Amino acid sequence: MINTKKTRLMTQCAIYRKHEGVEDLKIAGFFKEDFIRLEMLKTILAITLGYLIILGMVIIYYSEFLIAHALNLNYKMFGKKILGYYLLILVIYIVIALSRYGIVYLRSHKRLSKYYKMLGRIKKISIEQEHERELEEENWEELQA
């Protein structure tokens, strides 16, 4: 006999595993701090790459001016400005990443805890079913004897 309650629970679990579960189970492989650190590292890399691309485009844009005034330029000031802007953008993005990925981790944790609760209930039902089956087999043996 198919246990309808168990089937319902298993279906819910399978739907979860199909959608959010994929990402959530990946996230569950990390502690919260580790997950946020990893995402922050990714963000820093992405921002650095983006910033370098923008810097390259700006340098190409002002290339004529830069070549013309190559000897007279205050490179120290330029360097400070570039670094200052970079750090400013980086700090902003780190704050955003900290809050965003903290929320992401908490939400996935909540969903996962629900999922594990459902798994526990499925296990309980399976044990009950197994027990019933054993009893039936015993009864059958007794009857045969």
Partner 1 sequence: MMLLFEIRAKLAEIYQKYDFVIKALLKFALMFFALSRVCKVIGYSSSLSKSAMVVMISAVCAFLPSSLMVFVAVAYIFIQLMTASILIALTVTMIFLVLYLFFLRFTPKEGITVIATPLLCSLGFPYAIPLFLGIFGNILSIVPACCGVVAFYLLRVVQNNIITLDQLKQAKDEALPMYMNVVDNLLKNPPMYVMMAIFALVIVTIVVIRTIQMDYSFEISLGVGTGVMILAFIIGSLKYEMGISVPGMLFGSLFAMAITFFCMFFFRVLRYAAAEHVQFEDEQYYYYVKAVPKITAGSPKKAIRKILTQRKAEANAVEDEDEEEALEAMESMLARKDRPNAAPVSRSLARRVRNDMAPKRTESYIDDEDEDDEVVITGPKNRDGKNALSFVKDGLDKLKAMVAKKPARKPKAPVMPEEDDEEEDEAYEAYAKQSADRERLKANSKPEEAQGDDDYE
- Residues in touch with partner 1 (CB under 8 A): 2, 6-7, 10-11, 13-15, 18, 46-47, 49-50, 53-54, 56-57, 60-61, 63-64, 96, 100, 126, 130
User: Could you tell me the smallest distance in angstroms from the CB atom of residue 145 to partner 1?
Assistant: 26
Give the C-alpha separation, 143 to 145, whole Å.
Answer: 5
Closest CA to 27 of 39, 19, 35: 35
Which is closer to partner 1, CB of 30 or CB of 51? 51
Which is closer to partner 1, CB of 46 or CB of 68? 46
Angle at 40 between CA 34 and CA 42, to 5 degrees: 105
Which is closer to partner 1, CB of 2 or CB of 77? 2
User: Could you tell me the smallest distance in angstroms from the CB atom of residue 28 to partner 1?
Assistant: 19
* Inter-helix orientation angle 75-144/32-61, to 10°: 140
User: Exposed/middle/buried for 49, CB within 10 Å: 0-12, 13-18, 19+?
Assistant: exposed
Which is closer to partner 1, CB of 104 or CB of 112? 104
Q: How far is the CA of 145 from the CAs of 14, 33, 136, 140, in angstroms?
A: 43, 63, 14, 9
User: Could you tell me the smallest distance in angstroms from the CB atom of residue 116 to partner 1?
Assistant: 16
User: Could you tell me the smallest distance in angstroms from the CB atom of residue 7 to partner 1?
Assistant: 7
Which is closer to partner 1, CB of 64 or CB of 141? 64
User: Could you tell me the smallest distance in angstroms from the CB atom of residue 55 to partner 1?
Assistant: 11
Amino acid type, 4: T
